[in-house]
Amino acid sequence: MTDVLASMRGSVTDVAALGKVAVLMGGRSAERAISLMSGQGVLQALRSQGVDAHPFDPAERDMGELRRDGFARCFIALHGRWGEDGTVQGALELLGIPYTGSGVLASSVAMDKIMTKRIWRAEGLPTPAWRTVHSEADTLAAFAELGSPMIVKPAREGSTLGLTKVTDAAQCAQAYALAARHDPEVLCEQFVSGDEVTCPVLGEDRSAVALPTIRIVAPQGNYDYQHKYFTDDTQYLVPCGLPEGEEAAINALVLKAYRTLGCRGWARADVMIDGRTRQPWLLEINTAPGMTGHSLVPMSARAAGISYEALCLGLLQSASLDATAPDNPPHAE
């Protein structure tokens, strides 16, 4: 496992061999603003290491221009749909341009919180009880079944966008409407009261390694979009200060969750620890995590002795494809 960390801490001997690099940022998702912040950070970091890196916004340019302009690999700093959900990964597979992060299937599945939970549950991994809803009436029924508090959120959205913590049946209609504004598939999830933590992973398959766990302490326990990105009120504790043995158990759980979905390159899993039983519960996994000044993967990497620049460079080196196209593809007769 230490091989991954050692390679991240090391330096690239031939940066020129990485070729011309596109940092994909912006895009069309609701997380466009955050993606632009992530992308600019990555772009500056790569350039500081001598990489021939250039910004590329798929919302403003055709993806086919990547091949036309001679890009050799892509660093995906897109967040949310049309970037983190397998669509851009599929386009890059067709173009034959290696990219950072998970492949088409893992990206698509991880973006869908409901599908992710189904797979984790089938594999015996702990995730809070949930119901998929398509109406206000469904949401009320889910609240009656799951109890208070209940989390209502879009199935395929990130950055806590469209999320509501419901404590009263009267809130169900508004909570559903807000979530459905982002996605017709809405997830109602049993709320777990306790410590909120997140754990990044680097690498692939058996060589993957978990980085230090971060404990998140938000004002009034409200870790929303504003507190994630635009205030300094939230505390991020690394070392996390959890009881002895808990961090190791969370790392092992997150690694299993990452491998179960077939992730590669990097990701970050969010976990709630029940304050009474100390049982960890998997919430979701992000396969293109943020790289802003408030982002958690760079924070955890620093605690492991990996600078922001080294992290960006190491991820870029790991860029790959699901499959390599044959040198002589068959032609139609």
Query: Catalytic site residues?
Result: 31, 159, 229, 268, 270, 284, 286, 290
Alpha-carbon separation of residue 139 from 157, 171, 175, 278 (angstroms): 18, 10, 9, 28
User: Cα(289)–Cα(44) distance, rounded to whole angstroms?
Assistant: 17
Q: What is the CA radius of gyration of the chain?
A: 20
Cis geometry, peptide bond prior to residue 280 (ω within 30 degrees of 0): no
User: Cα(83)–Cα(290) distance, rounded to whole angstroms?
Assistant: 12
Nearest partner of 293 among 26, 36, 107, judged by Cα: 36
Are the C-beta atoms of residues 196 and 179 closer than 8 Å to each other?
A: no
Nearest partner of 28 among 84, 67, 70, 66, judged by Cα: 84
As beta bridge partners, residue 99 has 74, 320
- Kindly state the helix (H) or strand (E) to which residue 106 belongs, with its residue range: helix 104-111
What is the longest distance spanned by two Cα atoms in the chain? 68
Nearest partner of 318 among 48, 21, 31, judged by Cα: 21
Strand duo 235-237 + 266-274: pairing? unpaired
For 213-242, letters b (16+ CB in 10 Å) and e give: bbbbebeeeebbbebbbeeeebeeebebeb
In single-letter form, the type of residue at position 289 comes to P
User: Cα(245)–Cα(243) distance, rounded to whole angstroms?
Assistant: 6
- CA angle (83, 89, 90) in 5-degree steps: 120
